[in-house]
Structure 1
Amino acid sequence: MKTILLPTNFSKASQKALEFAIEIAKKADAKIIVAHAYTLTSINDEPFPVVFDNVLEETKEYLKSQLDSVCAYISSFKTDSGKTINAQYILQYNIPEEEIKELAVSHHVDLIVMGTNNPAGLQNILGSTVQNIIGNTNVPILVIHEDTPVKPFSKIDFAIEELSEKIYSVKNIIELADLYNAEITLLHIEHYARSFQEYEKISESETVSKVLNSVKKVTNYDHIKYKTVLSDIVEEGLYKSVNEDKADLLALIYNERNWLDELFHKSVIKSVLKKFNIPVLILHSKNLHQ
């Protein structure tokens, strides 16, 4: 992990996302790119265009000073290897959500860290929704609620559709997990179609052991386990697992064609962010390593 993109609007939520980005950069020796979008209502009648231009320029200069301060703050920290964290900013007027993808690609971004303080509307800090941003970039997105306490990721719950030897998508969180030597739990939510005894047998079966060993071999990471949670409602199963595991991070795969797609419905994300003060890492299925 070399580059972290941090969109900001200087809010409390953005500040919390900044703190998380700094902690990750410390571990990864990564640089942080701070991005801000701004807009003003356009007025076409004279003499307002002149006034508008003046206000626009004043706004731009003010935002530059704010971003300079943020970058200076970031650079006041050192990585675990003793290097000063490299920080730069990008200031754009009226960035459309599609441009986030271009920004991430042009700067070879490895992780986007975003703050949110409005679960009800899921408005992100660049004037779009978290869900739309997910649909416009393949880069992993770490969503941070403003009340989330900053702490290391020692336990990660990773929701999966099924347990099979094709679960190589776990490689996409290994880099982050390895920074903290975190334990990864492959979490499968299953409906009440079978008895608890049957699921206990499945969890302890040779198939599970074989697949886990295969995944560990492919990822070269040993701190991985598997669990099945019985629940007819996916988000309730997630809540149960996160509480039981005392997870510090919940990882989800964005895939429009599988059951996890419902996790990205506004009401479900609102519920996840509202009930748990832990970060949510969103991986896009189109960019998963095979």
Structure 2
Amino acid sequence: MDSEISNNPAFQEVLNTLEIDRKKIASTYSVCYTVFGIAALVIVGGLIVGAATVAIILSLIPIIVGIVMLFQIDGDAQKYKIAYKNNVVATALKKINESLTFVPQSGLSEGEFISSDLFTTEPDRYKTQDLITGIVDKTSFSFAEVHAEYKTETQTKNGTRTEWHTIFKGIIFVADFNKNFSVSTVIRPKSFGNTVGAWFSKNIFSFGNTEIVQLENTDFDNQFVTYSRNQIEARYILTPAMMERILNLNSKSDETISISFISSKMYIAFPLSNNYFEAPIHTSLLVPDLLTDDLSIVQFMHDIVHELDLNTRIWGKE
């Protein structure tokens, strides 16, 4: 955590107050786990000695106690998590950029997720949270965590089995590109292959005149495949400098990114397995590395504007 933040008395007071709440919640959860463990041992013991019915009846007491405790503490846990995001994370973000705003309950709308032209499959289940917006010089941007899934249903002799499959889980970054593109240009990983549910615009399959754009950067073409219905505009966007910047950005990401340019926006999909900005329950808030991972990912997203030189206005919006 930034020393300027951690040494701030008001911020430290917030952490101290939340730490008291955290300990209470963690203690209650621990008691509940213990109670449920006792119930399980009673049932197992009853099965061993041949008194399963008696064991199940006896186990109902700790089970009911545990459920009641969980129900009672759930409201406190939710308040604690919200307070952590609003009072700890949101405050810390201001040290990166004063313009950053954090809206935990909001995210990237499902409509924009679909219209970003990055994904083959429309989601049957869609979750998004932790929207962060800001401005770097002339460029406005936003990003949010997204988890989109589609379902398949298989008929079995016991009925219908539903399975959920991930379309995308990670962060979607959106930035103003200062030009209204006439068509969409999509850049996807070369390793995309035929993977179901990977990131690639369905529009690419919908229009017969969509073509692979051959670019003059061998490293870029080895890493990505670029599609567009306007070869000239695609090359106008993907200048030699822009391709080098995208390659550099991709090298800093754990997994290969995917990008689209549509309307007047740039969308970048970063697949990630971690959930960020979540309040710890079973570990202390009063540790120096409390916000290290969270601030690192925000700084990374924030720096994309400079990384891709989005403040250089080579176009005006039409």
Q: Which interval holds the TM-score relative to the shorter structure?
A: under 0.3
Q: Find the structure with the greater CA-based Rg.
A: 2
Instruction: With the length of structure 1 as denominator, give the TM-score of the two structures.
Output: 0.27
Instruction: With the length of structure 2 as denominator, give the TM-score of the two structures.
Output: 0.25
